[in-house]
A and B are shown apart, each in its own frame.
Chain A
């Protein structure tokens, strides 16, 4: 068994300990080290370093030799590599190191470019591993299932096999599934304001039923929730279970945490458990920080916002579960009125879920694109190093010829050359791991729309192994062709001296091919970069139908302030609105349930009282928002006809009014009243509000979810008519993010417990649609530019080398009367041919990559003429320059000097 996983010093000592003593000696050290580390890591390491320094392996080996196997044979360890082959390899390694040290420029370039290449791949792999390959700590995850509704509702257009279930669905699973499940639970993701961590939301999993039983979690301290008593209807206790990382980071591993009380959304909760560090919740990719009973779910049993989670009872298979859930759905459908969507459930094994069944596909595609970029970068690095290496081995032809002549066999020479190229790969991959982790660390501090995703930055064996394999593979890749070429050196010609300058045409061709490869790959990257950049500009140029700039916004959650679902919140929000209005620099204030381009879909039912709907259709289900008067003006939205909501929202005595006001956009107006141009004063019935609504204004459409969408119809109802719990407060004025922070402070003046989960500008709130094109454009441009530099350097080096090698020939041509410009031109032309082939291939590659990426592009086609003319042109220009600069040398060749050199 390897000594102390991750403790390199112990492993080093293990390697120096005789096999038969290894378990005892290293076990003792490990035991003592662990005991000391519990008291203080620094002192423990000091002690272990002291042990390593004073460790006398010679004396121990001598003593062990007297044992004669009395203490057993022991297990062979990694350091025992018997046999002469190993010694030979070690010799080769030593020789390779000496050679690499002797050419520091090549070594540094090779190590750095391989570090960059493996670093890029390792970074992508680290993220990929965190999301897709991590062990979430769920006990036997293939025995756990997530349950969703399989929804296809023709009336609302909502359709998804992974629609959330309701608390009622959960009760059905508990009461009707019989003995199919051994534990049943639900969960949903929520943000909670916790006292120890201040303003930022704590990512919380709200759970009901026997959640911890279903996942089979281990606890570091304490326990999970008592199913029923603590987590279902009527449960009264306020309890919380902490994630291990949260306990360590936010509470400093407080040993007295159990039983202590922390305030969550203003309510004191008792800590009953701290999870074991291995447990990461139901999604490997997400960072859950705490778990609390989901009391809101039982308060509102009809809303579809939960994920069902169940552990299968012994002997029950997934098909059996699907059958049971099908039977439950059939029972529901029996009593459901015709016209409503049929109920059906989807069962997903937990072992197949990374983040969430809906997001996993996108995440995988995104990873694939990133792997494509990183892989291409590595490939370019390899081709560059390969041509570098070719030139180096060409210089060593004499050495190889001599070695062949005195009997070195070809495989031995091949091996030695490959060791020489894999060595920089190994060093480069170590550096690459560091680069990847440092880069990711910096990258993850940026506020990403996916910041909730957990990326584990500890370099575990999997990541290290991946980097090492990539590094070695890259080393082999760039070393193989040059090594094959070099080991095939013709002994006699080379030794006679003539070979040095006249042969090597094969390796020259190889270098040419490599340059072509470099140019085509870098052009492909640049074309992809160009496509995404054009996407980004196209996206930024789209008029979303409102003004994203100059508005600060906070989200205020009333439920955290003690409001129960359904309780009017107008007083709270009215107070906040007045306070924000009084802030200096604020010109307009309005409230909205949601701003365009942020996540979330809310629909409501409307029907015209004055028309007969055909069988099975009973109106429309448009998306809608809840806003206060002044919102449209603040957002810069255009009113086509009519006006804003009439009165200030606090003036309307809600209960007394029988009719409410309604604003619709032009698309919804046309859908409801195709017969009139401007349906001001028309009326619809709205079941959700139990009253009719009269249209007071028709709004121009605005972008709602994506920039490329066709408007589908949108409605606005006044805030006064609602008991909305969570609202965005928007203020137009000077100050940006600073203004948002002041808004939060002023909102909290009268209620310090108020939950304000987001504090940002409207630009930030609506930024996620630009995230992918921006990230892709930046990454691809960066790598594309880097690749272009490398390819140009490669071409430059090739032409220069050609000129030097053919100096004698050039000298003869010049002395026979050739004009210098002709010679230069012929040199440049040869390079230009290579560049042209590279560009041609690059365009092909770029176009096919573009078609693969088309679904991620916006406002630009894969076959984009602008990109496809500009970039190849640019590349040809740069290539010509890279070739012409060294070719000029040819004109300066002095025929006399060149000929005399022979």
Chain B
């Protein structure tokens, strides 16, 4: 899909990470994001994967980030706090719309009957 054909959409993991950022309401940094992805999305991924995706999303302008305050439970190290940009929200909306369009008219066979 080329850019001219419609609004930018997101890859699946990007979508999950961006949603996790929105879900965490201002306290979006690595640890809770990773936790949310593991618990809710059942994606137990390494911290490096999370950061690679975060940096990519920031590169694309879907996220901004700033340095947070260090806390004791993380050994006095600073947090990197993320926030979705309007572009990011727009990309999410477009991704969802694309899905919905594709789902429209699809009727899956009932798994119970299939068996």
Whether B34 and A24, one on each chain, are in contact in the complex, defined by CB atoms closer than 8 angstroms, is: no
Whether A72 and B67, one on each chain, are in contact in the complex, defined by CB atoms closer than 8 angstroms, is: yes
Given A32-B34, A72-B67: A27 and B74 within 8 A (CB)? yes
Pick the residue among A3, A23, A35, A51 that contacts B47 (CB under 8 A).
A51
Whether A28 and B52, one on each chain, are in contact in the complex, defined by CB atoms closer than 8 angstroms, is: no
Whether A54 and B46, one on each chain, are in contact in the complex, defined by CB atoms closer than 8 angstroms, is: yes
Whether B47 and A55, one on each chain, are in contact in the complex, defined by CB atoms closer than 8 angstroms, is: yes
Residue of A nearest to B75 (CB): A30
Q: How far is the CA of A32 from the CA of B74 in the complex (A)?
A: 8
The contact string, 1 if C-beta is below 8 Å from chain B, for chain A 35-55, is: 100000000000000110011
| Contacting residues of chain B (37-81) with chain A, CB-CB under 8 angstroms | 44-49, 51-52, 55-56, 58-59, 65, 67, 70-71, 73-80
Given A63-B56, A72-B67: A25 and B31 within 8 A (CB)? no
Whether B75 and A60, one on each chain, are in contact in the complex, defined by CB atoms closer than 8 angstroms, is: no
Whether A35 and B73, one on each chain, are in contact in the complex, defined by CB atoms closer than 8 angstroms, is: yes
Q: How far is the CA of A28 from the CA of B68 in the complex (A)?
A: 12
Q: How far is the CA of A30 from the CA of B30 in the complex (A)?
A: 11
Q: How far is the CA of A1 from the CA of B76 in the complex (A)?
A: 8
The answer, yes or no, to whether A102 is at the interface (CB within 8 Å) is no
Q: Which of B58, B74, B76 has the most CB of A within 10 A?
A: B74
Whether B47 and A28, one on each chain, are in contact in the complex, defined by CB atoms closer than 8 angstroms, is: yes
Expressed in whole angstroms, the minimum distance between the Cβ of B76 and any Cβ of chain A is 5
| Contacting residues of chain A (50-82) with chain B, CB-CB under 8 angstroms | 50-51, 54-57, 59-60, 62-64, 66-67, 70-72
The contact string, 1 if C-beta is below 8 Å from chain B, for chain A 135-163, is: 00000000000000000000000000000
Q: How far is the CA of A329 from the CA of B21 in the complex (A)?
A: 72
Q: How far is the CA of A55 from the CA of B45 in the complex (A)?
A: 9
Pick the residue among B48, B52, B56, B79 that contacts A27 (CB under 8 A).
B79
Instruction: Specify which chain A residues have a CB less than 8 angstroms from the CB of B29 in the assembled complex.
Output: 24, 28
The answer, yes or no, to whether A574 is at the interface (CB within 8 Å) is no
Instruction: Specify which chain A residues have a CB less than 8 angstroms from the CB of B51 in the assembled complex.
Output: 21, 24-25, 60, 63
The answer, yes or no, to whether A110 is at the interface (CB within 8 Å) is no
Residue of B nearest to A16 (CB): B48
The answer, yes or no, to whether B93 is at the interface (CB within 8 Å) is no
The answer, yes or no, to whether A699 is at the interface (CB within 8 Å) is no
Q: How far is the CA of A326 from the CA of B70 in the complex (A)?
A: 51
Instruction: Specify which chain A residues have a CB less than 8 angstroms from the CB of B58 in the assembled complex.
Output: 70
The answer, yes or no, to whether A26 is at the interface (CB within 8 Å) is yes
Whether B48 and A56, one on each chain, are in contact in the complex, defined by CB atoms closer than 8 angstroms, is: yes
B: contact size bracket: 20 to 34
Given A3-B75, A30-B74, A32-B34: A25 and B67 within 8 A (CB)? no
Residue of B nearest to A29 (CB): B47
Whether A24 and B48, one on each chain, are in contact in the complex, defined by CB atoms closer than 8 angstroms, is: no
Expressed in whole angstroms, the minimum distance between the Cβ of A1 and any Cβ of chain B is 5
| Contacting residues of chain A (527-552) with chain B, CB-CB under 8 angstroms | none
Q: How far is the CA of A638 from the CA of B50 in the complex (A)?
A: 87
Whether B77 and A24, one on each chain, are in contact in the complex, defined by CB atoms closer than 8 angstroms, is: yes
Whether B46 and A23, one on each chain, are in contact in the complex, defined by CB atoms closer than 8 angstroms, is: no
Q: How far is the CA of A62 from the CA of B59 in the complex (A)?
A: 13
Pick the residue among B48, B56, B59, B65 that contacts A25 (CB under 8 A).
B48
Pick the residue among B30, B31, B44, B77 that contacts A1 (CB under 8 A).
B77
Pick the residue among B48, B70, B73 that contacts A57 (CB under 8 A).
B48
The answer, yes or no, to whether A802 is at the interface (CB within 8 Å) is no
Instruction: Specify which chain A residues have a CB less than 8 angstroms from the CB of B78 in the assembled complex.
Output: 23-24, 27
Instruction: Specify which chain B residues have a CB less than 8 angstroms from the CB of A57 in the assembled complex.
Output: 48
Instruction: Specify which chain B residues have a CB less than 8 angstroms from the CB of A1 in the assembled complex.
Output: 75-77
Across chains A and B, the number of contacting residue pairs, with CB separation under 8 Å, is 93
Residue of A nearest to B77 (CB): A27
Whether A67 and B31, one on each chain, are in contact in the complex, defined by CB atoms closer than 8 angstroms, is: no
Whether A71 and B80, one on each chain, are in contact in the complex, defined by CB atoms closer than 8 angstroms, is: yes
Instruction: Specify which chain B residues have a CB less than 8 angstroms from the CB of A28 in the assembled complex.
Output: 29-31, 34, 47, 74, 79
Q: How far is the CA of A66 from the CA of B30 in the complex (A)?
A: 19
Residue of A nearest to B33 (CB): A28
Q: Describe A's contact surface by its main secondary structure.
A: helix
| Contacting residues of chain A (840-856) with chain B, CB-CB under 8 angstroms | none
Whether A63 and B73, one on each chain, are in contact in the complex, defined by CB atoms closer than 8 angstroms, is: no
Given A1-B76, A25-B47, A30-B77: A59 and B34 within 8 A (CB)? no
Residue of B nearest to A23 (CB): B77
Q: How far is the CA of A28 from the CA of B81 in the complex (A)?
A: 11
Q: How far is the CA of A534 from the CA of B48 in the complex (A)?
A: 67
Whether A32 and B31, one on each chain, are in contact in the complex, defined by CB atoms closer than 8 angstroms, is: yes
Q: How far is the CA of A55 from the CA of B51 in the complex (A)?
A: 11
Instruction: Specify which chain B residues have a CB less than 8 angstroms from the CB of A70 in the assembled complex.
Output: 58
Residue of A nearest to B80 (CB): A24
The answer, yes or no, to whether A31 is at the interface (CB within 8 Å) is yes
Residue of B nearest to A57 (CB): B48
Residue of B nearest to A35 (CB): B73
Instruction: Specify which chain A residues have a CB less than 8 angstroms from the CB of B76 in the assembled complex.
Output: 1
Instruction: Specify which chain A residues have a CB less than 8 angstroms from the CB of B75 in the assembled complex.
Output: 1, 3-5, 26-27, 30
Q: Which of B29, B35, B56, B73 has the most CB of A within 10 A?
A: B73
Q: Which of B45, B47, B73 has the most CB of A within 10 A?
A: B47
The answer, yes or no, to whether A107 is at the interface (CB within 8 Å) is no
The answer, yes or no, to whether A34 is at the interface (CB within 8 Å) is yes
Q: Which of A31, A50, A55, A59 has the most CB of B within 10 A?
A: A31
Q: How far is the CA of A26 from the CA of B76 in the complex (A)?
A: 11
Whether B55 and A67, one on each chain, are in contact in the complex, defined by CB atoms closer than 8 angstroms, is: yes
Instruction: Specify which chain B residues have a CB less than 8 angstroms from the CB of A5 in the assembled complex.
Output: 75
Whether B59 and A66, one on each chain, are in contact in the complex, defined by CB atoms closer than 8 angstroms, is: yes
Expressed in whole angstroms, the minimum distance between the Cβ of A835 and any Cβ of chain B is 58
| Contacting residues of chain B (86-100) with chain A, CB-CB under 8 angstroms | none
Q: How far is the CA of A23 from the CA of B77 in the complex (A)?
A: 5
Expressed in whole angstroms, the minimum distance between the Cβ of A69 and any Cβ of chain B is 13
Whether B46 and A51, one on each chain, are in contact in the complex, defined by CB atoms closer than 8 angstroms, is: yes
Whether A31 and B74, one on each chain, are in contact in the complex, defined by CB atoms closer than 8 angstroms, is: yes
Given A24-B79, A28-B31: A60 and B59 within 8 A (CB)? no
Whether B67 and A60, one on each chain, are in contact in the complex, defined by CB atoms closer than 8 angstroms, is: no
Whether A26 and B77, one on each chain, are in contact in the complex, defined by CB atoms closer than 8 angstroms, is: yes
Q: How far is the CA of A72 from the CA of B77 in the complex (A)?
A: 14
Q: How far is the CA of A486 from the CA of B112 in the complex (A)?
A: 83
Q: How far is the CA of A25 from the CA of B30 in the complex (A)?
A: 7
Expressed in whole angstroms, the minimum distance between the Cβ of B43 and any Cβ of chain A is 12
Expressed in whole angstroms, the minimum distance between the Cβ of B36 and any Cβ of chain A is 12
Q: How far is the CA of A71 from the CA of B45 in the complex (A)?
A: 23
Q: How far is the CA of A29 from the CA of B45 in the complex (A)?
A: 12
| Contacting residues of chain B (1-44) with chain A, CB-CB under 8 angstroms | 29-31, 34-35, 44
Whether B52 and A59, one on each chain, are in contact in the complex, defined by CB atoms closer than 8 angstroms, is: yes
Whether B48 and A59, one on each chain, are in contact in the complex, defined by CB atoms closer than 8 angstroms, is: yes
Residue of A nearest to B56 (CB): A63
Expressed in whole angstroms, the minimum distance between the Cβ of B41 and any Cβ of chain A is 16
Instruction: Specify which chain A residues have a CB less than 8 angstroms from the CB of B31 in the assembled complex.
Output: 27-29, 31-32, 35
Q: Which of B35, B45, B48, B70 has the most CB of A within 10 A?
A: B48
Given A27-B79, A56-B52: A71 and B74 within 8 A (CB)? no
Instruction: Specify which chain B residues have a CB less than 8 angstroms from the CB of A34 in the assembled complex.
Output: 73-74
Expressed in whole angstroms, the minimum distance between the Cβ of A22 and any Cβ of chain B is 8
Instruction: Specify which chain A residues have a CB less than 8 angstroms from the CB of B44 in the assembled complex.
Output: 50
Q: Which of A27, A56, A72 has the most CB of B within 10 A?
A: A27
Expressed in whole angstroms, the minimum distance between the Cβ of A806 and any Cβ of chain B is 64
Instruction: Specify which chain A residues have a CB less than 8 angstroms from the CB of B77 in the assembled complex.
Output: 1, 3, 22-24, 26-27, 30
Expressed in whole angstroms, the minimum distance between the Cβ of B31 and any Cβ of chain A is 4
Pick the residue among B30, B35, B67 that contacts A71 (CB under 8 A).
B67
Q: How far is the CA of A870 from the CA of B107 in the complex (A)?
A: 103
List 8 other contacts, CB 8 Å, given A24-B51, A29-B31.
A3-B77, A5-B75, A28-B29, A29-B47, A56-B49, A63-B55, A66-B59, A71-B65
A-B contact pairs, 23 of them (CB 8 A): A1-B76, A21-B51, A23-B77, A24-B77, A24-B79, A27-B70, A28-B31, A28-B74, A29-B31, A32-B35, A34-B73, A54-B45, A54-B46, A54-B48, A56-B46, A57-B48, A59-B48, A63-B52, A63-B56, A64-B55, A66-B55, A70-B58, A71-B65
Q: Which A-B residue pairs are the 9 nearest by beta carbons?
A: A27-B77, A28-B30, A54-B46, A27-B74, A31-B74, A24-B80, A28-B31, A23-B77, A63-B55
